[in-house]
C-alpha cells in the first residue's frame, strides 16, 4: 500500500514538473514562412573575454562574482582616457554612451566566450599555424605600422573590423547589429563601419573555392527554430587569431526570449588549430543602431 502511495506521489510530481516546464517554454514570434522572427537591433557587447584567464579555473562565475568582474573592467576602461588628454578627446566613449558599461548587454556568467575546449582556451596551433605566426612576428619587426597604408591595421584603414564576422566577436564599441529577414535571405548589418552580410537560404552551393572574400561566402538554412549559417572562402588577409583562408565557421542563432538570441559559433581550420573550437554568447535587443 505504501509503495503505491509513494509511486502515485512520484508520478504526480513528475507530471506537475513537466507541466510547469511546458508552461514556461517561450514561443518565438514567427515570419510569414513560419520561421522564427530574428529581426531587429542586437548587441553582443560584453566584458567576458574570448579566452578564460589562466588564473580562473571554472567555467561559470556566480552572479555576484560576474558583477564584480564587470565593475572592475568598467573602471579599467574608464581609466584608459584621462580627462584633458588627446585620448580623452578622441576615444572617450563614456561621453556618448558607447562604452560597454553604458550599453545594453547580458550578464554573462561564463568566464570565457569559448565553451569548447573545456578549458576555455584556444586549441594549440598546428606546426603550419606556428610557422605562420612566427613569420608574421618577424615581418612586423621589419615594417613600421605607419610606413605605408598597406602596413597599417585593417580597422584603422576602415577596410574590415573584428565584429563584422563571421564569427561576430564583440568589438570595443558600436558592437551592434541589425538583422533583416526576407523570403530566401537574411541580412546582417554591423554598425561599426557598416559591414553587411547578405546570406542566401535557398540551398545554393558556395562560390568557387578560388574566390576569397573578407567576410567569406555564407550560406544559411534552418534546423528547427535555429538559423544555421556556414561560411567558407575567406581570403586569409584578415586572420582570426592566426587563421588561414581554409577557415570554416558555422554560426547558430536561436531566439530564446523576447530580448535574447543565443549565438553560438564553431571555428574549424586544420591549417591553424589542432581541433575545432566553439564559443557561446548572447545577443541582446537594442532599440536602434
pLDDT 10s digits, 255-269: 999 999 999 999 999
pLDDT at 111: 94
Spatial contact of 173 and 188, defined as CB atoms under 8 Å apart: no
Q: In 3-state terms, the chain is what percent helix, strand and coil (to 5)?
A: 25, 25, 50
Q: How far apart are CA 225 and CA 207, in angstroms?
A: 27
190 membership: H or E segment, kind and range: strand 185-190
The whole-chain average pLDDT of the chain stands at 84
pLDDT, mean of residues 200-211: 95
Handedness of CA 30, 35, 40, 43 (dihedral sign): positive
For residues 215-243, give the mean pLDDT.
95
Instruction: Report d(CA 86, CA 96) in Å as an integer.
Output: 16
- Asked if residue 11 has pLDDT above 50, the reply is no
CA dihedral for 218, 223, 224, 226, sign (positive or negative): negative
Q: What is the DSSP string of 198-259?
A: EEE-S-PPPPPTT--BTT-EEEEEEETTEEEEEEE-B-SSS-STT--TT-EEEEEEEEEETT
pLDDT digit string (tens) for 77-120? 666 566 666 555 555 555 544 555 445 555 689 999 999 999 99
Per the CB < 8 A criterion, the answer to whether 161 and 171 are in contact is yes
pLDDT one-digit tens code per residue, 56-71: 999 999 999 988 888 8
pLDDT band at 155 (very low <50, low <70, confident <90, very high): confident
Mean pLDDT for 160-177 is 87
Amino acid at each position: 500500500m505504501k509503495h503505491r502511495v509513494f509511486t502515485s506521489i512520484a508520478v504526480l510530481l513528475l507530471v506537475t514538473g513537466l507541466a510547469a516546464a511546458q508552461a514556461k517554454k517561450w514561443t518565438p514570434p514567427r515570419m510569414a514562412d513560419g520561421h522564427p522572427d530574428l529581426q531587429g537591433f542586437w548587441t553582443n557587447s560584453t566584458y567576458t573575454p574570448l579566452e578564460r584567464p589562466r588564473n580562473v579555473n571554472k567555467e561559470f562565475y556566480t552572479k555576484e562574482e560576474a558583477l564584480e568582474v564587470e565593475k572592475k573592467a568598467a573602471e579599467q576602461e574608464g581609466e584608459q582616457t584621462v580627462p584633458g588628454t588627446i585620448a580623452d578627446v578622441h576615444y572617450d566613449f563614456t561621453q556618448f554612451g558607447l562604452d560597454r558599461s553604458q550599453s545594453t548587454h547580458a550578464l554573462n556568467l561564463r568566464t570565457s566566450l569559448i565553451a569548447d575546449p573545456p578549458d576555455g582556451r584556444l586549441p594549440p596551433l598546428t606546426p603550419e599555424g606556428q610557422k605562420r605566426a612566427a613569420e608574421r612576428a618577424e615581418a612586423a619587426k621589419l615594417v613600421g605600422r605607419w610606413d605605408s597604408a598597406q602596413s597599417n591595421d585593417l580597422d584603422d584603414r576602415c577596410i574590415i573590423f573584428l565584429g563584422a564576422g563571421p564569427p561576430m566577436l564583440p568589438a570595443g564599441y558600436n558592437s551592434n547589429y541589425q538583422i533583416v529577414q526576407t523570403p530566401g535571405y537574411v541580412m546582417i548589418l554591423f554598425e561599426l563601419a557598416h559591414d553587411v552580410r547578405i546570406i542566401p537560404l535557398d540551398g545554393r552551393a558556395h562560390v568557387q573555392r578560388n574566390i576569397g572574400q573578407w567576410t567569406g561566402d555564407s550560406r544559411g538554412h534552418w534546423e528547427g527554430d535555429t538559423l544555421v549559417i556556414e561560411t567558407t572562402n575567406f581570403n586569409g588577409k584578415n586572420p582570426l587569431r592566426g587563421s588561414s583562408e581554409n577557415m570554416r565557421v558555422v554560426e547558430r542563432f536561436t531566439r530564446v526570449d523576447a530580448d535574447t538570441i543565443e549565438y553560438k559559433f564553431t571555428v574549424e581550420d586544420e591549417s591553424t588549430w589542432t581541433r575545432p573550437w566553439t564559443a557561446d554568447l548572447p545577443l541582446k535587443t537594442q532599440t536602434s543602431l
